[in-house]
Amino acid sequence: AQSVTQPDIHITVSEGASLELRCNYSYGATPYLFWYVQSPGQGLQLLLKYFSGDTLVQGIKGFEAEFKRSQSSFNLRKPSVHWSDAAEYFCAVGAGGTGNQFYFGTGTSLTVIP
């Protein structure tokens, strides 16, 4: 069965510190992987995606993620967190193709302290 696990429900980091948000997936086919960010009361904004090629992908706002097939992981990283990065982060996996649904993780809430 397809599933996405985000082990950390909530993470607190200091501004300027590095960040890593974990995502593990269980998927029977080649996964198409996505990270989204959601600010309070807002929709989801795409940060980055992976479906082929270089396993280290760069996204917007200075985020990057690395696909590790052997570990079934797609962890999100940022070298230096800004206060504006405080939000909810969702990892998603899909089968590719426009009609196929996503499977979302439960999300990780990020708090940034000054």
Partner 1 sequence: GAVVSQHPSWVICKSGTSVKIECRSLDFQATTMFWYRQFPKQSLMLMATSNEGSKATYEQGVEKDKFLINHASLTLSTLTVTSAHPEDSSFYICSASSLVEPEGTQYFGPGTRLLVL
- List contacts with partner 1 (CB under 8 A): 32, 34, 36, 41-46, 49, 51, 90, 94-102, 104-107, 109
Q: Smallest gap, in angstroms, from Cβ of residue 87 to partner 1?
A: 13
Task: Give the nearer residue to partner 1 in terms of CB position, either 15 or 95.
Answer: 95
Exposure string of 25-59, with b = 16+ CB inside 10 Å and e = fewer, is bebeeebbbbbbbeeeeeebeebbbbeeeeeebeb
How far is Cα 58 from Cα 67, in angstroms, rounded to an integer? 11
What angle (nearest 5°) sits at the alpha carbon of residue 71, between those of residues 86 and 63? 30
Q: Smallest gap, in angstroms, from Cβ of residue 17 to partner 1?
A: 24
Task: Give the nearer residue to partner 1 in terms of CB position, either 43 or 114.
Answer: 43
Q: Smallest gap, in angstroms, from Cβ of residue 90 to partner 1?
A: 7
Distances (CA, A) of 53 to 21, 94, 100: 22, 17, 21
Q: Smallest gap, in angstroms, from Cβ of residue 96 to partner 1?
A: 5
Task: Give the nearer residue to partner 1 in terms of CB position, either 15 or 27.
Answer: 27
Task: Give the nearer residue to partner 1 in terms of CB position, either 73 or 109.
Answer: 109
3-state secondary structure of 33: strand
